[in-house]
Structure formats: structure tokens, C-alpha cells
Chain A
Amino acid sequence: MTPGVAGIFARRWLRWETMLAAVLVAEFVLFASISPYFLDVYTLSDATFNFTERAIVALPLAMLIIAGEIDISVAAIIALSSVSMGLTASTGAGTGTVVCVGLGTGLAAGMINGALVTIGRVPSIVATIGTMTLFRGAAYAVLGDRVLKDYPPGFAEFGQGYLVGPVSNELALFVSFALLFGVFLHYTRWGQAIFAVGANPVASRFAGLAVNRYRFALFAATGLFSGLAAVLLTSRLGSTRPSIAQGWELEIISMVILGGVSVWGGKGSILGVVLAALVFGLITFGLGLMNVPGIVMSIFTGSLLILVVAVPALLGRLRLSREANS
């Protein structure tokens, strides 16, 4: 047992994912035995809508946090994208145009964040707290007390349609992007560079990595995927109000952290984030089936967040003290 640095990391993060997998199985068995309605293909299919949009944003955000930055403005970007799509649709544009405008708005907003951090040299948490207010404020300023709901007929397909059987378009999109991001982050040179930038930005710069270019691209990607989440959410709701996706930023960040991504950067995995998304989605849906009020659910999700981090830490301390005694 003489693991190298990489080996220690691998052990540490596998343990985290093991924890999540165990929690997931426990949830599944628990809810299946308590609620007679839980194990139904359509019930489970409905359950995926509880997390897919948030999980899609969590994927690029996980990479951003691994690179040592953070974006608090994701929910506000969703709102702004949704408003711009609504305005485009109200001029009678087709589905394709509306979707492009949504994605484009997200991308542009992400690039603003990226520019503030790389060119403006503002710490990312400060910059995105500011843009969070700015983007959400812009949504309110443009829309006021109006509702936008004149979406083209085909638009509802994104958030309400199904690919095959009970597999919704949203779920299919999430799974394919999760695979794509997993391969990108863990098996490509660019993915390795993202870990390096997060672990030690100064050393990475000396090693010849264009650190700021990586940061900028990751902010832009996070914006783009927030735009995608906006397309799905707007399509599912069929309407836009400026208060859409209120409070999602903390839920998405919690998802990423529960997935084992280190808030100090440099560590994390896409598998963990995917498992965390499933754990979150199942727990809220399962407790909902038992008619537990949402605010009481927050006790469960909060405890889960702490437990998943605390249990490995506790076990590690126990082992240390046993080794010291023997």
C-alpha cells in the first residue's frame, strides 16, 4: 500500500462516490418500500423533471468550480434567456430562432462573467453576485408585470416531449451531456488542464497554460448551458415571468458540492455530480410522494450535504486514531 499522489486522490474520490451510490440505493429501497406509488415507470419518469434542468447546469458549473472559479449568476442567466426567448417568440419567430436566441443570450451572459473575471480581474464570486442582480434586474426591467407565453407550437417539445417511451427529451439530453462532459473532463488534455488550473493557477501559468483562456471558456460554457436550461424550463412551463428559476443558484451549487467537487478547486468528477443530481432528484420526489412539506425536505437535503462530507472525515479520523493506538 504505497499509493502515489494520484492514488490517494483516486481513493479519496472513489470513497465519496461510493457514499453517494450507497445513499442512492438506500433512498431507492426506502421509498420503494414506503410508498406504493414509487415504483412505476411513469412516476419515475415524472421524477426526473425534478432535477434534469438543474443538473444540466451543474455539469459545466462543476468544471468551473474544479478550475477554481464559481458562477452564482446561473439562475439569473436562465431568467434573462427565458425573457429574451419570450420577446423573440412574441414577434412571431419560429422555434429554431427562439432556441438560438435563448442559447445566444446565455452564451453572451456567460461571456460577460468571463470578461469581468479575466479582463476586469474581479474575483468570480464578487463578479457573479453582481451580475446575478444585474441579469435578474434586466429581466424585470424588460418584462415588468407582463407574461410572455406566445411560444411557437413546436417549442413545447423540448421540455414536455419524450424521446422513446418514458424517456423524456430532457433526460436524454442530460445523459448525453453527462457522458460528453465526463469524457471531456477525465480523458482529454483540456480536462487535465482544467484540474491543473484549479489546483494551482500560478504554476499552471508558468507551465505554459493559457489560464485565463480556460477560465473565459468555462464561464462561457456555463452561460451557454444555463441558456439550454432556460430553453427546457421555458418550454416545460410554456410561459416566462421574470421570477423564473428564483433561488436555483444555491440548489445547483449544492448539487455540485454534494457531487464531491472541491470548493477550493482542482478536485471532482462528473460521475459524482451525476450521482448527486440523482440523489437530490430522488429525495425531493420521494419525500413529495409522502407529502412531506418542501421546507422539511430541506432538512434532509442539508443533512445529506453535511453527512456525505462528514462520514468519510469521521471514518478517516477513527482509522488514524486506531493506527496511533496500535
Chain B
Amino acid sequence: MNWLARLSDASRRDFAFGALTLALPGGGVVPVLLISLLAGGFLGAFNGLLVWKLRLPPIVVTLGTMSIYRGVIYLLSRGAWVNENEMSPAFTAFPRLELLGLSLLAWLSILLVAAFIFALRRTRLARDLYAAGGNPHAAEYSGIDAGRAQFIAYTICGAIAGLCGYLWVARFAVAYTDIALGFELSVIAACLIGGVSIAGGTGSAVGVLLGCLFIGIIRSALPLVGISAFWQMFINGAVILVAVLLSARQRDRQGQTLEARA
């Protein structure tokens, strides 16, 4: 089920930032981080509430809020761009600070991946989510409040999307309405390539990490090798298709179910 919670990541991510960077041009890094987590978490919680309390289909909710959030960014920012010289040096430098030879951006992702590996294997919430995704009826009969678990998942997703919003803006030093347009499909693609089942119930943090690395490496490698700009997308698509075909064949061989860690 956790794939669903990621759908409107991209939209939420920039929302947090269009608004934020305007509000806090000179703020320190720590409050910015907190506000980005809170703003993203709040928007995620709104999605989660609709899914939990009204039992609306998640895809409808997130498709809807995806448009709404982006429209609201435009209204709040009046379509303005926030530029590099309007951000404090600490704001833009933070993700690039180096610690033991790695940038903070890298450390953050390592930390988050580690936290998710642990959380997905060891926490009650994760077990509930796997159960709710794998077999909703069985989960309900065994007393699991699937809606509540999904609500928390949406909130976490939103908070992380908010954080990514800050990191994106700090890294590229510019913020505007259309930031991260179309990221939702890349993020979902990364999850799916990483073996998260679209029907819910299976998937692991390591898999998703591999999926992200896979897409990221192809994207940055193609311009580096000097492949013509016009062919990059085609190669991208071909590689993704080969990957999913192979993983589908492997799944068939292993039988229909992967390990469900519930």
C-alpha cells in the first residue's frame, strides 16, 4: 500500500517550498528544516485524512490534491520566482556541507534509507501496512486499523516530500511553481522497479533504494557519455522496460508472492 502514499510527493514537495522560501528568506537552516517537514507532513496528513475518514480511493485523492496544491503554490507565490540572491548562503550551502568526505545530502539519504529498512522490518506500523496492503479483509478481522496506519504513512510521506522540497530548492537555488513537475511518475517508477507491488502488500526499502539508484544512474550517465539529447529518453524507456520484464519473469519463477514480512 505504501506506493500509493507516494503519489503526490512531488506536488507537495514544491508547495512546501514555494511558500516557505518566500516566508523565510533569511531564516536559519534548522527552522527551515522543521517547517519543511511540518508543511509537507500537514499536506500529507490532509490526503491521509480523506483516505482514512472518508474512505476515498487514494488515487482520486492524490490526483486531486496534486492539482490543488500546485494551484495554491501559484496563488501564494503569485507565480514569482525566488532566486539565488534572495536566499541566505546557509540556506543553499546546507545540503552541500561535507562530513567525512560525503555531502550532507548523501548522509541524509543514507540515514533515511537506514531508518526505513529498520522501520519496515521492525515496527508495528509497517506490519500493519503490509497486512492492510496484502489482504485488507484479513487485516480488518485481525483488528488492524488499516486506515489509521495509512494515514500515518501519508503523513510521513508528506513530511519527507517537504524535506525533499527544501533540498531541491537549496540544491538548484531557485524556487518556482513548476518545480519538480512530473516527478510523481519517476518516483512511482523507482518504487515499482524496486519491487514494490502495485497491488500492495510487498516491497522493501532496499528494493526502492536500488530502484532509485537505477533510474538516477541512467539519467546522469547518459549526458555524461555524450548520448544525443534526442535518444536519452528512448534509451531510458527501453532500459526500464527490460528491467520490469526481467523482474516479472523472476517473480513468476519464484511463484506469485514475494516475501511478505508481516
Whether A302 lies near B64 (C-beta < 8 A) is: yes
8 Å CB contact of A125 from B57, B198, B252: B198
Nearest CB in chain B: distance from A206 CB, A: 16
Return B260 CB to nearest CB of chain A, in Å.
17
Q: Contacts of A253 on B, CB cut-off 8 Å?
A: 63
Interface assignment of A309: CB less than 8 Å from any CB of chain B: yes
By the criterion of a CB under 8 Å from any partner CB, how many residues of chain B are at the interface?
47
Are B198 and A123 in contact (CB-based, < 8 A)? yes
- With A141-B230, A295-B74 already in contact, the answer to whether A302 and B66 are too (CB < 8 A) is yes
Q: Are B245 and A305 in contact, CB atoms less than 8 angstroms apart?
A: no
Task: Please tell me if the beta carbons of A137 and B237 are within 8 angstroms of each other in the complex.
Answer: yes
Determine whether the beta carbon of A144 is less than 8 Å from that of B230.
yes
Does A299 sit at the interface, judged by CB under 8 A?
yes
Query: Would A310 and B185 count as touching, CB distance under 8 A?
Result: no
The answer to whether A72 and B185 have CB atoms under 8 Å apart is yes
* B188 contacts A by Cβ under 8 Å: yes
Interface stretch (choices B48-56, B93-101, B103-111, B116-124): B48-56
Q: Does A293 contact B (CB under 8 A)?
A: yes
B241 within 8 A of A: yes
A254 contacts chain B at the CB level, 8 A cutoff:
yes
Distance A257 CA – B238 CA, assembled complex (angstroms): 29
Tell me, in angstroms, the Cα distance from A22 to B96 when the chains sit together.
Answer: 54
- Chain A residues near B233 (CB, 8 Å)? 133, 136-137, 140-141
Interface flags for A289-313 (1: CB within 8 Å of B; 0: not) read 0000101111111111110011001
Whether B68 contacts A299 by the Cβ 8 Å rule is yes
- With A296-B75, A309-B57 as contacts: A129 and B185 at CB distance below 8 Å: yes
Q: Which of A114-122, A177-185, A211-219 contacts B (4 or more CB under 8 A)?
A: A114-122
Q: Mark B70-107, 1 if CB is under 8 A from A, else 0.
A: 11101100010000000000000000000000000000
List the B residue with the shortest CB-CB distance to A293.
B74
Chain A residues, Cβ within 8 Å of B55:
313
Chain A residue nearest in CB terms to B256: A121
Of A126, A129, A138, A303, most B-chain CB atoms within 10 Å: A126
Q: Is B172 an interface residue (CB 8 A)?
A: no
CA–CA, A323 and B244, complex, Å = 50
Query: Given contacts A132-B237, A140-B230, are A257 and B63 in contact (CB under 8 A)?
Result: yes
Given A298-B71, A306-B65, are A263 and B236 neighbors across the interface (CB < 8 Å)? no
Question: Does A250 belong to the interface (CB within 8 Å)?
Answer: yes
Query: Is there contact, CB below 8 Å, between A303 and B185?
Result: no
* Residues in B whose Cβ lies below 8 Å from that of A136: 233, 237
Bound Cα distance A310, B75 (Å): 24
Contacts of B197 in A (CB 8 A): 123
Give the interface centre of A130, A253, A263 by most chain B CB atoms within 10 Å.
A130
Asked whether A138 lies within 8 Å of B60 as measured between CB atoms, the reply is no
Contact A116 B241 (CB under 8 A): yes
A127 CB-CB contact with B under 8 Å: yes
Is the pair B199, A123 in contact by a Cβ cutoff of 8 Å?
Answer: yes
Could you list some 21 contacts between A and B, CB below 8 A? A120-B245, A121-B248, A121-B251, A123-B192, A127-B241, A127-B244, A133-B237, A137-B237, A138-B237, A254-B63, A263-B59, A293-B79, A298-B68, A298-B70, A299-B67, A299-B71, A301-B67, A302-B64, A304-B64, A306-B68, A309-B60
**Chain B residues with a Cβ under 8 A of chain A:** 50, 54-57, 59-61, 63-68, 70-72, 74-75, 79, 177, 182, 185, 188-189, 192-193, 197-199, 230-238, 240-241, 244-245, 248-249, 251-252
